[in-house]
Amino acid sequence: MKKQHRPTLHRSVTQQWQTFRNRASGSVATSRGWANPSAIHFSSRPPSNRLPFRPHTNALALAGATWPQIAIPSTPERSQHWPERLAALVQERLGAREARRRLLHAVPGLLPFLLWAIPHRDPSSWRFLSEISGVIVVLAAVTYYQFGRVQRTAERRRDVVAAVLGYAMVVLATMLICSRHVEVAFAALAILAFGDGSATLGGMLVQGRPLPWNSKKSIVGTICFILVATPMAALVYWGQAHDIYQTANVARVDFGLALLGALAAALAAALVESLPVRTNDNLRVGTTAAVVLGLFQWLAVGWSPLY
């Protein structure tokens, strides 16, 4: 029985292969000759004497025509959407409330830069110190009344008072103690405004590995603190001291020296900020930065009177 079906099976495979080759070459053998395959209708059911496998050219052509065309954007088109992607990332991981909180935290740090463009009196005079102190008090009052919009769920009223007073009192006390070197107070303000704010911002956006001694703080946040606070504090210190020392006809403070002092203060403040302490860190971060900058002023620059 098997020997009788072998020739028939062999012929069907041969005929199937020959038919497939003819269709691939663009022509089909018919009883009248060779014809165009597009003019021949192929049945969807294979003949009984042929194998089940049969390429259905009409179905393949229809599938190719109906397949959706995917447009791949070019590099300029993809780069045009990065602000939207960044805004979406901030909205997802920070939220509008936390983003406004970071902005409110950094605004007081712009005060030293405004003094560069605004003509003002001698920075060591009591009149100038009184005016700047009044501005800081007004900013603290505005921040206190606006803090309800950025207040976190776990924060209580006394935490808000400690955060605002700790922020303002550090700068005011440093200005009064270092009245002849307000650049120390302004550099501490820059570390507190930009360094502490960027630590929370970077830690929430990137969400890296936690610190070994504090699981609520990340390594990325501490690195962001140092990378942002160091150049900002150095720029504020150098700009304010450069103006004062030039007026007093003494040697100017080099920017490299200011950068060294700012780096030491930023490292110490970042370490204190990362400690596992439940209270608000504005007071301890600002105090640490002011103390290190004061030591730098005493050891590297000097406390000699300028006027």
Each residue of 242-281: pLDDT tens digit?
655 554 444 567 889 999 999 999 999 999 999 998 777 8
The two structure tokens encoding residue 216: 């609520």
Residue 19 has a pLDDT of 65
Q: How far, rounded to the nearest angstrom, does the alpha carbon of residue 238 sit from its chain's CA centroid?
A: 27
Q: Is beta strand 214-218 parallel, antiparallel or unpaired with respect to 210-211?
A: antiparallel
Label residue 95 left, alpha or beta by phi (over 0 means left) and psi (-120 to 50 means alpha).
Answer: left
Regarding predicted confidence, which is higher, 281 or 306? 281
Any idea which of 36-45, 235-244, 256-265, 282-291 has the lowest mean pLDDT?
36-45
Dihedrals phi, psi of 221, to nearest 5 degrees: -65, -40
- 18-47 mean pLDDT: 52
Each residue of 59-83: pLDDT tens digit?
555 555 555 555 555 555 555 576 6
Per-residue confidence at 9, pLDDT binned at 50, 70, 90? very low
- The pLDDT of residue 50 is above 70: no
- 225-244 mean pLDDT: 87
Contacts of 214 (CB under 8 A, 6+ apart): 274, 275, 276
Per-residue confidence at 138, pLDDT binned at 50, 70, 90? very high
Per-residue confidence at 160, pLDDT binned at 50, 70, 90? confident
- The pLDDT of residue 28 is above 50: no
- 123-128 mean pLDDT: 78
Regarding predicted confidence, which is higher, 138 or 157? 138
Q: Count CB-CB contacts under 10 A for residue 279.
A: 12
Burial label, 227 (beta-carbon count in 10 A; 0-12, 13-18, 19+): middle
> What is the average pLDDT score of the chain?
75
